[in-house]
Chains A and B, each alone.
Chain A
Amino acid sequence: MKPQNKSQYLLPKFMLGIIFLLSNLACSPPVGVNNLGDIQRTFSETATKDNQFDQNMLSKTSAQDIDGASLDSVAISIGYASVLDQLNTLPKEQIASLKDSGLWGNVLMLKAMSQWRLQKYVPALETLQKIDEKTYNSLGNRDKVMLHMIPGLIKNDEFYQQLKQAQGKPVNAEEVRNIQQGFSSVLSTLHAALDKSNGNQTMRRYMLISYLGTYKNHQDACGLSAPENRRECINNKRCEAFASYIALEKTLDNSASSTEFLNNIRGHWLGKPNADKLRKAYQRCEAKE
C-alpha cells in the first residue's frame, strides 16, 4: 500500500499519537498493581538467595565462609521481612483496588510464604485461613497448589529444626520416633498434594523436589535411631520415593544440568547413585503392588 497523499498519511499518525497519549493519561494501572509487581520481584530475589543458602551453609568450613553465610542468612531474612512489611502496610485504597482486581489472593499467598520462611508458622497458617472462597477462586493454579502445600512445608521445617537440634547429641527414643513420624506424616501430605498440580509441569517438579527433600530429612532422622531400630525406619516410604524420583525424571529434559541434578538426588538423597539400579528397584516395587 503506497501513500496517496502526504497529509493523509500524517493525519492518522498524529491521531495515533493523540490516542496513545490520552490512553496513557486515562489508563494508569489500578492503584497497588505496580507496587505488587515490585513486591513479587523482591520475593523472587529473596527466594533465590534462600534456595542457594542451604547449599553454601553446608559446604562452608572456614570461619570467613561461615561469616559470609551468616551475612547471606541476614540478607534473606531482611528480604522476606521487607516483603511482609510492604504487604502489611498497604494503604486501604490499594487493598480495595487489589481486591477489585482479583489480586488479593496473590497478596495473601506472598504474605503466607514470607511468614513461613521467617519461621512465623502460626501467622502463616492464619493468613491462609483468611483466603475465603471468592479469593480462592481468583487464585491461579500455582498459588492454589502452594496453599495446600504450605502446611506440610511448615511442618517439615519444624521437624527439621528438631532434627538439627537432635543430631550430634543423645536423644531419647520417643523424641526420635516423634521426629521420624513427623517427617513421615509430611511425606503423606505432600504425596497427596501431587495430584493437584493439574498439568502445571514446573509446579509438579517443585512439588516432587519438595517431597524428595522431605524424604532426605526422614532418612537423616532414621540415622538418629539405635542400629537395631534403624532398618525399619529407613526402609519406610522407599517405594514412594522411587516413584517420585521417576516422576521427577519425566519433568526434566536431557540437558547436562538436569542429568547432573538427577545424579545428585540419587546419590545424596535416595541412596542409589546408579540410575539403572534405581530403576530396577522401582520395578520391583511396582511388581509387589
Chain B
Amino acid sequence: MTPDLVLFAIQSALKLGDASKKYQIDSIHTKELTLPYLNFDQVLDNARALDKYYLDDVYEEIHSEVVRKLATKLRTLGEDHLTEAEKRTLVYAYWKQGDIKEDEELASLQPCLVSSSTFHAFAIIKQYGRDQDPTVSVFKRLGGTFLEIGVDYFAHAPQGFTVDSREAIALKALFVGLDDVQFSEKHWKEQMGEFPRRLSVALLDTISENSMVFSTDLHSQSLIETTAKTLSEDVKGHIDQITASSAESTLAARKHIMSWGEVIFRSVLSSAGNMVAENPQTYFDLDDPAKSTLFKDLSTVLLNIVLDTEDGHLRQTFSKQSLDRLVKTTLTVIAKHPQLTGEHHAGVTTLITQVAEGLNAMDTVVHRNLLPEAIRLLIEKSGENLALLWPDEGNHEEKRILLLATKDLFENLSATTAGNDWKLRFAKDDMLSMLDTALKEVAVNPAWVVDSAHARNSYLGDAVKAMFTVINDLQDERITAQVGAQMLQSGLRAAAMRLEFLDDLPDGKKVIGSVFDAILVSVLSADTSSKVAWRLARGDMMQGLLDVALGKLQSEEITASQIETLRVSMNAQIEQINAGKRWSLEQFAISLEQALSKQGK
C-alpha cells in the first residue's frame, strides 16, 4: 500500500459516495406509490339498476315488448308504481340487456364485484411514463459494472493500473462519452444496458490488440469519446425505430442492432486508430479535437448502412473485416481530399451513403456478399479523381460515373441471352476483379459511361454484353468462371486502347465480340477434333490466344476483313495441330501478325 494508492482510494470513495447519494435521491423521487381513489360506491345497488332505464340509450335499445312496457311505466310514473315482480324483471333485463327467462338466476347475470387485487394494481402509479424518466444516464446506471470490468482487466494486465496509462485514459474517454447518453427506463428494461458494457470490453480488447496505436493524446480520446457516444445514441435510435414500427422490438432484433454497434465501434477504433495517430491534423481540428465530428458522422453512416436496408441485404453481407477495409479506404480518401471533412462532413457521409444505396438498389442478380467490397472499391477509385468522378454532393446520378460503370457491368453480367438460360456464374473474387478493372479504366476515361455533357454512353455495357454473349452462347463448361472473368478483363483493357473494338461490323455484331467468337468457336465447337481440343481447350491457352489476337489487332486497322483474317489464321492453326505439326502460341502470334499486316496493305 503506497501513499498514492491510499489517496486514490479516498478520491474514488468520495466520488462513489456522491454517485450513491444521487442514486438514492433519484430512487425516492421516482418511487412508485399507491394512490388512494376518491370515494364512490363501486357496486350498483340492484334497486338503483332501475335508474338506468332513465338513460335514453338504454331505453332505446330495449327490444322486448314486455320490458319496454315496464320501462315506459317506470319513466313516466316512477318505481313506486311498479310491483316487485316488475322491478325484478327490469333488473334482470338490465343485466341481461336482452330477453330474459323467468327462472334465470340474477347472480348468474350480474358481474362480480371488481376483484381487489385488480383494483389495487391500477392504483400503483409510477412517477414517470415509460420513456420520460430523466434520471437514468448510462454512466449512473453502470458505474458499478464499469468498475468491475476495469478492475478485472487491470488485475490481469502485466502493467497493472495507473491513472495515466493508455488504458485508463481510454476508459475515461469512454465514460465521458457515455455520461451524456440518456437511456429511458424502457431502454434499460429492454437490456440496452448491455451495450455500454460491450463497448467498454471492446475498447480494452482493441487497445490490447493495437498496442502501438492508442496514445494518451486528445485525438485518441476524442475518437473514443465521440464514437462511443454516437453509437450508443444511434443504437438507441434504431431500437426505438423498430419498436415504433412493430408492437415491440424482439430480443433478437435488439441484440442484432447492438452487435452491429459493437462491431462498428471496434472497426472504427482499430482501423482509424493508426491513421489518426499518424496524421491527426487530417482528421481533427488540432486546436480543439472535440469540435471535429468526422468519426461521429462516419460511425452513424456505417450503422445506417448495415441496419437501414428494408430487406437487410447489406446487413447480411458486411463483416468486421469488410468494415475495417471500408473505414481504412474512406479515411485514405479523406486524407487525399481534405475538403470532404469540411464543416459538416456531408461530403464523406454522402459519398458512402450514395454508393451503398446505389449498389443496393441495383436490380441485378449479383452476389450480395460482394457489396461491401464493391462499396469500398467505388470509394477508393472515386477518391483517385474526386473532382471528375464525384463532383458534388447532390444526388445527380449522371455525375456518379463509377456507380454508372458498376451498374453497366453488373446488369450485363446478370443478363441471359434470348432462348438461353445458361450463363457463366462468377464467384465473388471474379466479380471483384472485373469490377476493379472496369473501374480503373473508367476512372481514367469516363467516356466509357458518360460524354463530356454527362449524357450516357453505352460503351462499357456494350463491350461487356458483346463478350459475355459469345461466352454464354457457347454453353461450354470448359470456360470456367475464373477464365471467363480474365477474358472479359482482357477485352476491356484492349477496348480501352482502341475504341474501334466497340464498332459495329456489317453483321451487326461488335468487333470485340467477333474477336471472341473467332477464337472461342474455333477451339470449342463440336467439330473440333480431340487433338485440337486437347491442346487448345484449356483456360490458359484460350486466354493466351485471345490476348495474342487482341494485342495484334490493337496495332492494326480494325476492320471486318481483319476479323476475317483472324478467323482464317485460327483455322490454319487448327489444321496445323490436326496435322501433328509443331505449334505454339508464339508461332500463332507471328503468323497472325504477318496475316494482319498483309491484309492491311
Chain A residue contacts of B40, Cβ below 8 A = 54, 156, 160, 213-214, 216-217
Q: Is B125 touching A26 in the complex (CB atoms < 8 A)?
A: no
> How would residues 59 to 87 of chain B score, 1 for a CB under 8 Å from any chain A CB and 0 otherwise?
00100000000000011111100000000
Query: Least Cβ distance of A109 to chain B in Å?
Result: 9
Complex CA gap A13/B156 in Å reads 11
Scoring B residues 31 to 70 as 1 if CB is less than 8 Å from chain A, else 0, what string do you get? Answer: 1011111111111100010011011111001000000000
Residue of A with least CB distance to B133? A140
Contact string against B for A residues 99-110, beta-carbon threshold 8 Å, 1 for contact and 0 otherwise: 001110010000
A170 at the interface (CB under 8 A from B): no
Contact partner of A223 (CB less than 8 A), chosen from B14, B51, B94, is B51
Contact: A29 with B21, CB < 8 Å?
yes
Q: How many residues of B contact A (CB 8 A)?
A: 83
Contact with B along A195-234 (1 / 0, CB 8 A): 0001111110110011001101101101100110011001
Interface residue A271 (Cβ < 8 Å from any Cβ of B): yes
Binds B, one of A2-10, A127-135, A174-182: A2-10
Contact mask for chain B residues 106-128; partner A; CB cutoff 8 A; 1 contact, 0 none: 00001111111111111111111
* Interface Cβ pair total, 8 Å cutoff: 278
A16 to B154, CA, bound (A): 12
Residue A58 at the B interface, CB < 8 A? yes
Taking a contact as CB atoms under 8 Å apart, the answer to whether B158 and A4 are in contact is yes
**Is B12 an interface residue, CB under 8 A from the partner?**
yes
Contact residue among B97, B120, B124, B129 (Cβ-Cβ distance under 8 Å from A141): B129
Contact of A264 among B31, B113, B131 (CB under 8 A): B113
Pairwise interchain contact B55-A238, C-beta atoms closer than 8 A: yes
- Determine how close the nearest CB of chain B comes to the CB of A271; give it in whole angstroms: 4
A3 & B155 in contact (Cβ 8 Å cutoff): yes
Contact of A37 among B28, B39, B61, B151 (CB under 8 A): B28
Do the beta carbons of A206 and B125 come within 8 Å of each other? yes
Partner of A18, one of B9, B114, B122, B132: B9
- Besides A20-B16, A30-B21, A47-B123, 7 other CB < 8 A contacts? A27-B18, A40-B31, A106-B28, A143-B127, A235-B54, A264-B112, A277-B57
**Across the A-B interface, the 10 shortest Cβ-Cβ residue pairs:** A27-B17, A22-B13, A227-B78, A140-B127, A200-B129, A23-B16, A213-B40, A199-B129, A271-B52, A26-B17
State the A residues within 8 Å of B (CB).
Answer: 1-4, 8-9, 11-13, 15-16, 18-23, 25-27, 29-30, 33-34, 36-37, 40, 43-48, 50-52, 54-55, 58-59, 101-103, 106, 113, 116-117, 140-143, 146, 153, 156-157, 160-161, 198-203, 205-206, 209-210, 213-214, 216-217, 219-220, 222-223, 226-227, 230-231, 234-235, 238, 257-258, 260-261, 263-265, 267-269, 271-274, 277, 281, 284
Q: List 28 A-B contacts (CB under 8 A).
A: A12-B151, A12-B155, A16-B151, A19-B16, A22-B9, A22-B10, A22-B12, A22-B14, A23-B17, A27-B13, A29-B24, A33-B25, A45-B34, A47-B34, A47-B36, A58-B43, A103-B25, A143-B127, A157-B39, A160-B38, A206-B37, A217-B40, A231-B56, A231-B75, A261-B114, A269-B44, A281-B57, A284-B57
